[in-house]
Amino acid sequence: MSNQLYLLLIGIFVLITLNKSVHVSAQKYISLGKQKHRHDDMQQMEQPLSAIQIHKTVLALTKSASIHAVGPRILGSEGEDFEWVTINLRNANPTDEDWVGVFSPAKFNESICPPVTIDEQQFGAPFLCTAPLKFKYANYQNANYTATGRTSLKFRLINQRGDFSFAFFSGGVSNFVAFANPKAPLYPRLALGKSWDIMTVTWTSGYNIDEAVPFVEWGWKGQEQKRSPAGTLTFHRNNEDKVGEVKLLNNVMRPFIGTPARSVGWRNPGFIHTSFLKDLWPNMVYTYKLGHMLNNGSIVWSKQYSFKSAPFQGQESLQRIVIFGDMGKQERDGSNEYANYQPGSLMTTDTLIKDLDNIDAVFLIGDLPYANGYISQWDQFTAQVEPITSRVPFMIASGNHERTWENSGSLYTGIDSGGECGVPAETLYYVPAENRAKFWYAADYGMFHFCIGDTEHDWREGSEQYKFIEQCFASANRHKQPWLIFAAHRVLGYSSNDWYAKEGSFEEPMGREHLQKLWQKYKVDMAFFGHVHNYERVCPIYQNQCVNKETSHYSGVVNGTIHVVVGGGGSNLNRFTTINTTWSVFKDYDYGFVKLTAFDQSSLLFEYKKSKDGKVYDSFTISRDYKDVLACVHDGCEPTTLAS
């Protein structure tokens, strides 16, 4: 086979042995930020290989080992977005610690590294300037490897704008493989626009605007299709040599990308295109295709996709919304990767895909890939959720793993975003916010009105966000849009999670103290939170008191808000405290999501489903009339006068 010719370096990359490196590098990593860790995410990152010190990798050549990618060097020649690739390994001195990393771009060694940054100097110069996308132990598919020194591994590669090589630690670098068109338009994600009759579609490609003009061709299914333009965004590994300066400017609130996002975790994100499909008719099936018109007039097309447009604002029809947080990503080929601690992620994805005909929109309320600065994982994530996002609007909120970073304008101190500072999230996913760097927005879906908060920016009384939240609640016409929903990432309401119980707050400090007057005044039906990786439903609550003993069928006046923690989308589960609070109605230590079904303006079904089987494990209904929302309860009363 001709690709045998591409067998390149035969060598040994001698690593600091893995056990040691996990320990040392986790300490290093944590020392980057000085904050105390509220919970155990950092510890969770210490799964095998998650903390290899790529910076400290050194190269020592040997002739006794080889690695080779079998099969065609060109992948996706039939237009596939992903391909399985088999790797053959040989090693005269095999060990249990040998592993294979997938690198992209295929040339990944120090010769292509950018200049060393101030931050990086503390680690020593990198020998590999980019982290592997993912990796497997050599003995993963064949325990005999350690005896025989021979094995094969299978990797599932997604098309993400670059070529790939496989590096054998110890053993060398494979021949390169690449997709037929690495720049292909891929991974469309739909999101509701600023009004009900706009659908936005965002996708990723390798085409900048000087090479091709991006657009969407769309229309009613089976009818004439028209074209709409798309805008293009990207982001850079910026401020390389100005790190110190930028930190001094912390009052500017301008996020910058820190380490590892800017160093070994960096990978070119490609170009992100967004098109606004406008003047939609309600409840129609539309088909769409992504296109890039090259300078010579020929067009590179994506596959065809379809979606159903949103109902008219306030319209009565069957409307089904899924809400959950903290999803993460997971590799279908069993590979390991950095920050790989979301074991429920594929289960949630696959369960939602199976039921997609019965879902109209999805809200993922923060902590999307947990890329934590390893930018390639945003591609893994967008590819994983593509079957969902290409068919129904996928609305996100910002979590600590998207945004939080020291001295970057995030409300909490910490390094949870790995230096991303919200930049990948706000670029890769559209939200109908005035300013996508501040992730708060309103969204309408028929009889639902959603107010999505951003817990990584100040929400307290007097803040810009507080004003927005009040205005968002006030803008719901409860006759037409009776179902008023608040959602945000960290728990601003109630949670029996272990670490909140230890703090004695049962919430993120200061959350409900500031927001409950708004929930109460505007009679918000439900408030959803993630961040805590489990499920918990709270009674209808007013001033920290349950106001209704009912637990399965609510009716009559709206005198309390039902709080729900639904952070079991995939990330490592979090334990509950053993303390039983008066307000907790239902707890579940498992992966799952919530589905809301509005049948009309007076009846709503709430269901909590487990990711493992899609079955309902907790539910309740709300039945009520408009007069029940208008009724004067507590402080939710309109002023009246005796004058007539």
Ligand X SMILES: *[C@@H]1O[C@H](CO)[C@@H](O)[C@H](O)[C@H]1NC(C)=O
User: Cβ(192)–Cβ(361) under 8 Å?
Assistant: yes
Q: Of the two residues 126 and 328, which places its CB atom closer to Fe ion in the complex? A: 328
Q: Which of 547, 585, 616, 630 binds ligand X (CB under 6 A)?
A: 547
Q: Which does 152 bind (CB under 5 to 8 A by kind): Fe ion, ligand X, none?
A: none
Among 4, 296, 640, 641, binds ligand X (CB under 6 A): 296
The 10 Å Cβ neighbour count of residue 254 is 13
Closest CA to 410 of 426, 393, 428: 426
Which of Fe ion, ligand X, none does 72 bind, CB closer than 5 to 8 A by kind? none
Q: How many chain residues bind ligand X (CB under 6 A)?
A: 16
618: number of Cβ within 10 Å: 21
| Residue in the block written with tokens 């600091």 | 16
Residue closer to ligand X (CB basis): 118 or 547:
547
User: Nearest approach, Cβ of 223 to ligand X (angstroms)?
Assistant: 28
**What is the distance between the alpha carbons of residues 644 and 637, in angstroms, rounded to a whole number?**
19
CB of 548 to ligand X, least distance (A): 5
Residue of 130, 170, 302, 400 that binds Fe ion (CB under 5 A): 400
Q: State the DSSP code for 274.
A: E
Which residue of the chain is nearest ligand X when measured via CB?
556
Binding at 367: pick from ligand X, Fe ion, none (beta carbon under 5-8 Å per type): Fe ion
Q: Which is nearer to ligand X, 144 or 471 (CB)?
A: 144
Which residues, at least 6 apart from 172, have a Cβ–Cβ distance to it below 8 Å? 8, 9, 10, 11, 12, 13, 65, 66, 67
Q: Is 556 in the site for ligand X (CB under 6 A)?
A: yes
Stretch that binds ligand X, among 182-190, 246-254, 294-302, 458-466 (CB under 6 A): 294-302
Q: Which does 109 bind (CB under 5 to 8 A by kind): ligand X, Fe ion, none?
A: ligand X
Among 268-276, 372-380, 496-504, 556-564, the segment contacting ligand X (CB under 6 A): 556-564
Contact in structure between 585 and 617 (CB atoms under 8 Å): no
Alpha carbon distance 103, 176 (integer Å)? 10
**Residue nearer to ligand X on the CB measure, 490 or 587:** 587
How is residue 604 written in tokens? 């709503």
* Nearest distance, CB of residue 607 and Fe ion, angstroms: 24
Beta carbon nearer to ligand X, 296 or 641: 296
Output DSSP code: residue 127: S
Closest to ligand X by CB, 298 vs 644, is 298
| Angstrom distance (rounded) from CA 124 to CA 315 | 61
| HEC readout, 35-89 | CCCCCCHHHHCCCCCCCCCHHHCEEECCCCEEEEECCCCEECCCCCCEEEEEEEE
Which CB, 47 or 548, lies closer to ligand X?
548
Distance CA 12, CA 61 (A): 5
Closer Cβ to ligand X, 1 or 58, answer by number:
58
| Binder of Fe ion out of 83, 119, 337, 367 (CB under 5 A) | 367
Q: Reduced to 3 states, what is the DSSP secondary structure of residue 228?
A: strand
Tell me: does residue 294 bind ligand X (CB under 6 A).
Answer: yes
What is the rounded distance in angstroms from the CA atom of residue 616 to the CA atom of residue 531? 22
What is the binding site for ligand X (CB under 6 A)?
59, 107, 109, 111, 142, 144, 294, 296, 298, 547-548, 556-557, 559, 578, 580
